[in-house]
Amino acid sequence: MRFKATFGWKADGVSAVAISESRRDAAQGGVVALLASLIGLAWIVCAWAELSGAAVQFHHHALYESGRPVALSALMLLLAWQVMTAAMMLPSSLAFISAYAAASGRAPRFPLTLTLFLSAYFLTWTGFALAAFAGDMGLHHLVAAWPWLTAHANLIPAATLGLAAIYQLTPLKDACLNACRNPGLFLVRHYKRGPWNGLQLGFRHAAFCLGCCWALMLVMFAAGVAHLSWMGVLALIMLVEKATARGYRIVVPVGAGLAVLATLALVAPRLIPGL
């Protein structure tokens, strides 16, 4: 009787574990499929926008010169930025979100938790876009009021590229990359169940993601919204840096490449497409 009871308990336990793992795998696979579809759709929209010429209307220069209210221009930029975030940032965060789905897929209210997590992620990048937009507007007002800077406007993209080059070599960038490259360790330290904790974790992960990539994303303001060449190169760099075990190997070469581009932006800006 004891043996049968023990055997029966083990069988039930194995069955429960199998069902639990099956649900976890289903949740993880569903999340990955959903995000992969979202990433693919975002790239399709960006490709259509550039090939059709619609992307020009969302470039910051066009938004300033359109005569639209500032609030409407900011809204248009933010809409475009959401698509760019999905296309460029989500691929590099896919491993982390997949691990998060595996950890929380069996928790109650998982769909709401995941929604809040992703909302926090996109809200963080939206805040960055608003700050960059405000700073860019300030620069345009400065250029308009300062004739010397108007005559040397290529200093602005050169400074943007130079800033991105310098930031590649900072300890802050390195620390943020280490956090993003180790999603399991990050979750062990910070994971808690529940929608509210999902929101908090989304903001926390997005902060490290922002710390990795804000300078590279700032280059998109110089290159123009939905510029496919720049988007593709920068998205690939961020993916390799953040999501691969040996991504640290390209950090310094990328910084050197950005420094070369910054120099070209000063002496021969026409050689750099999109600037």
What is 226-259 written as a DSSP string?
A: T-HHHHHHHHHHHHHHHHSTTGGGGHHHHHHHHH
- Token pair for 16: 């429960």
For residue 214, give the 3-state DSSP assignment: helix
Mean pLDDT to the nearest integer, 62-69: 74
- Looking at residue 262, its pLDDT comes to 94
Mean pLDDT to the nearest integer, 122-145: 88
d(CA 272, CA 275): 6
d(CA 88, CA 84): 6
Residues shown for the chain:
275
**For 8-22, 69-83, 234-248, which range has the lowest pLDDT when averaged over its residues?**
8-22
- Token pair for 7: 């055997």
- Looking at residue 141, its pLDDT comes to 83
Q: What is the pLDDT of residues 191-222, one digit of tens each?
A: 888 899 999 999 999 999 999 999 999 988 77
Query: Does 117 have pLDDT greater than 80?
Result: yes
- Looking at residue 207, its pLDDT comes to 95
Rg for the chain, CA atoms, rounded? 22
For the beta carbon of residue 140, count every other beta carbon within 10 angstroms: 16
- Looking at residue 103, its pLDDT comes to 83
pLDDT band (50, 70, 90) for residue 226: low
Residues 6+ apart with CB under 8 A from 211: 172, 173, 175, 176
- Looking at residue 194, its pLDDT comes to 86
Query: Does 52 have pLDDT greater than 50?
Result: yes
- Token pair for 143: 């250029």
